[in-house]
Amino acid sequence: MVNSLLNKVQVFLRWKYAHFWRVNMGMNSPASIDDIKILYKSENFVAVDKHYDVKINSDDPKDTITVATQLAHLHPELVDSSLPHSFRFIHRLDYSTSGALCLALNKKAAANAGKMFKDRRVTKRYLALVRGHVTEDTMMIEKAIYPNPEEDLSHMMKVDDGECPTGTRLLSALTRLEVLQRGEYDSEPATKLLLQLHTGRRHQLRIHCQSIGHPIVGDYTYSMRKDVSPYRMMLLAHTLHIPIPGEDIDVTAEDVFTQDNDPKWIPYQEDR
């Protein structure tokens, strides 16, 4: 019990250090209540461009900046007071991930969108900067994953390496990877990728990239709390297509992994 408590304190202190470093020594700009962009809006749905390092919603009153509070501030007329967090989130993005996120504005819309996700008809593509140079221009990563059983690491996922505990429920996971550019990030080799989810597992892209030896730049969790110098985790939900009959939702969040936006990223000219 004492060791568990010490581990939790250590994790908290490392997170505080990482947060201090990114905010005070890098380009990290904590989100404000206004830092949310509308990508699509109808009577049934609203799609937004989520800021990095923002929760979707929270039960903690100290979390004053979430997607739910931002959207309620921007469009109070869309709030459903009967819901615990004001809105119907039909899918999620990690705290550290930015980009396209869709919410339903009524029960029927949520059910229609939910069916598209269940039937795997939704197309989600992400942009990422990863460590090192990925040698293959395209590849399919098909590796089952499962929750990490280790104490204090249960928030993480692991790739099936043939040594998972007996009785572990493995989750099939498939990711398509395409190299867009190779270059350097902060003078270290890096690759810009287009990633497409064929399954929607927790932390799938992060653990799949790590599993091929190319962790996402700035991924504090899957670098085992070591990669703290980048101002954010370089993962962006770039496009989202939900082909609902009668309302085709197709949105794109701006690519922020450019040299103009972040001069530490220097792509080589010969790549696309």
Alpha-carbon Rg for the chain in angstroms? 19
CA distance 135 to 122: 29
3-state secondary structure of 237: strand
Which of 94, 219, 227, 262 is the catalytic position? 94
Please classify residue 107 by burial: count the beta carbons closer than 10 Å to its beta carbon, then call 0-12 exposed, 13-18 middle and 19+ buried: exposed
Q: Could you tell me if 50 and 233 are in contact, meaning their C-beta atoms sit under 8 angstroms apart? A: no
Residue 198, CA distances (Å) to 82, 145, 233, 245 in order: 34, 14, 22, 21
Residue 236's closest CA among 213, 268, 262, 212?
Answer: 262
53 as an active site residue: the answer is no
Sign of CA dihedral 166, 167, 169, 172: positive
Amino acid at 16: K
First to last CA, the chain: 52
Structure token digits, residue 86: 């004001």
Return the DSSP state at 29: -
Helical H segments across 32-152, by residue range: 67-74, 107-118
Catalytic positions are 94
